[in-house]
Homo-oligomer: A and B are copies of this chain.
Amino acid sequence: MKIAIIGSGSVGCLYGARLARGGHDVRFLMRRDLEAVRRNGLTIKSCDGDFHLRPAVFGKSEEIGPVDLVLCALKATAMDVAEQLVRPCVGPHTRIVALMNGLGIEEQFAGWFGPERIFGGLAFVCINRGEPGVVHHLAYGRVAIGHLAGNHEQSREIARLFADAGFETSVPPSLRQARWEKLMWNIPFSTLCITAGAVTTREVMGDPGLRMLAERLIVETGTAGNADGCEIDIPATLAKMMANTATMGAYRPSMLVDYQNRLPLEVEAILGEPVRRANALGVPVPVMETQYRLTAFLDLLNRGEVRGEK
């Protein structure tokens, strides 16, 4: 199958590289690592076993052209250029998987390309970029795939691609619920790692006050999700999230890595849109809203977009 990876950060590289190793014709749209990968190839240092490949990399989507499947792994902060980066790869039968964080992403793709071809992808993976051309895959890797219009048969087809590449996969009954459940991790842990002074999940889990905030954020998020039509078992998910995170050690969520690299944070996808949905549904999310406003400001301050003094 001919596959375009649009957005070759760590997530795009890991999944694309494993699909390429499985024999698919995978074409990567790259920006930061383009020259390094052309020169030295792509190295995946992975908990599943390291490997190296020399993939087909491109600097422009037009050079890739129409494909069978677009895997869009852009950061949510790049949604303003997503349409123009994806469109050259879309032919009449192209399917598009948005392997991205946040709420409302698939709906935006549907607006550009029609809902029938749009899938949401959720990557449950601990992963960081290394030096150019190197990705560090630390743990997990499960992918959940959901069709925007709820066609599970089509979702299972896409999921099979990932399963054949060696990943655990699932097709959740509800894509919307899967998105909210993923936010039940991202909202507490990605954002407390920022507002608590740029620390890892270990410090958040190790401080009783921050743990309590994490638990409140998980409950607020699940409550908003259920008001948004989901049927999340909040106590069970809370227990699972806390237990899983306790095993992660000093993990740096991608939002923290971005912060430390002074890159824009996925604030609107991970916090802004959930807060707006909760407000529209009349669900109070005061801790989430506090995290939203603080994180949004810290993002600007960190990148010199507002003046501060230290």
Please give the residue numbers on chain A whose beta carbons come within 8 Å of chain B beta carbons, in ascending order: 195-200, 203, 206-207, 209-210, 212-213, 216, 250, 260, 284, 286-287, 289-294, 296-298, 300-302, 306-310
Contacts and interface: CB of A to CB of B under 8 A. Distances in A.
Contacts of A291: 290
A214 B296 CA distance: 15
Give the oligomeric copy count. 2
B216 A286 contact: yes
A237 B185 CA distance: 38
B297 A210 contact: yes
Given A287-B290, A296-B209, A197 B301 contact: yes
Given A195-B294, A287-B287, 16 more contacts: A195-B195, A196-B298, A197-B297, A197-B301, A197-B302, A198-B310, A203-B297, A203-B306, A207-B297, A207-B306, A210-B294, A210-B297, A213-B289, A250-B309, A286-B286, A286-B290
Contact of A290 (B213, B250, B301, B306): B213
Given A195-B195, A200-B309, A297 B209 contact: yes
Contacts of A284: 286
B309 A199 contact: yes
Contacts of A294: 195-196, 209-210, 213, 294
Contacts of A306: 203, 206-207
Contacts of A195: 195, 294
A198 B301 CA distance: 10
Contact of A213 (B216, B293, B310): B293
A291 B210 CA distance: 11
28 contacts: A195-B294, A196-B297, A196-B298, A197-B298, A197-B301, A197-B302, A198-B308, A199-B308, A199-B309, A200-B309, A203-B297, A203-B301, A203-B306, A203-B308, A207-B300, A209-B292, A209-B296, A210-B297, A213-B289, A213-B290, A213-B294, A250-B309, A284-B286, A286-B286, A286-B287, A287-B289, A290-B291, A294-B294
